[in-house]
Copies of this chain bind each other. A is one copy, B any other.
Amino acid sequence: MSASSPTYKALEQTAAGHEVDLDSLLEVAGWNDEGLMPAIAQQFDSGEVLMMAWMNRQTLEETLQTRRVCYWSRSRQKPWRKGESSGQIQMLHQAWLDCDGDTLLLKVDQTGPACHTGRRTCFYLALDDKSARVDTAPLMSAEALYGNS
């Protein structure tokens, strides 16, 4: 949890309200070897954590400009505008970067299920020390989600 650059270190004890240029902050952000960072999507009003996916600088900037959430698909190696095949889009309410500049939190308004299984959230396997339990059934089938794509 140590700061990843002098820029982030300098912000640590800064008073609320201080502003910095986005470009200079993203220039020294903690992108991984693939130029990506994790982005957590949280429903803005209920607080439910919906999913985690990845963004590069390009898809983060697009998201901040258009307010429609766009991730980077690692499997397809291209921008992934959430909902482009399922219709279940995410609109951005507020984006946050963490203290080390290597993780994003996106407060979003999610239409319908966020999860490709048809569930509202991807986090549906409840763990204890011996077993995992399926906590919720799908809201809709994969066929209903992707049938027209």
Q: Check A96 against B117 for contact (C-beta < 8 Å).
A: no
A75, A131, A134 — most chain B CB neighbours (10 Å):
A134
How many chain copies?
Answer: 2
Which of under 10, 10 to 19, 20 to 34, or 35 or more describes the interface residues of A? 35 or more
Complex CA–CA separation, A124 to B12 (angstroms): 10
Contact B129–A65 (Cβ < 8 Å): yes
Query: Contact flags (1/0) for A6-35 with B, using CB distance below 8 Å?
Result: 000001111111111110010000000000
Q: A residues within 8 Å of B by Cβ?
A: 1-2, 11-22, 25, 38, 40, 42, 46-49, 51-53, 61, 64-65, 75, 94-101, 103, 105, 115-117, 119, 122-138, 141-142
4 more CB-based (< 8 A) A-B contacts, given A49-B49, A96-B125, A97-B132: A1-B122, A2-B75, A22-B131, A96-B123
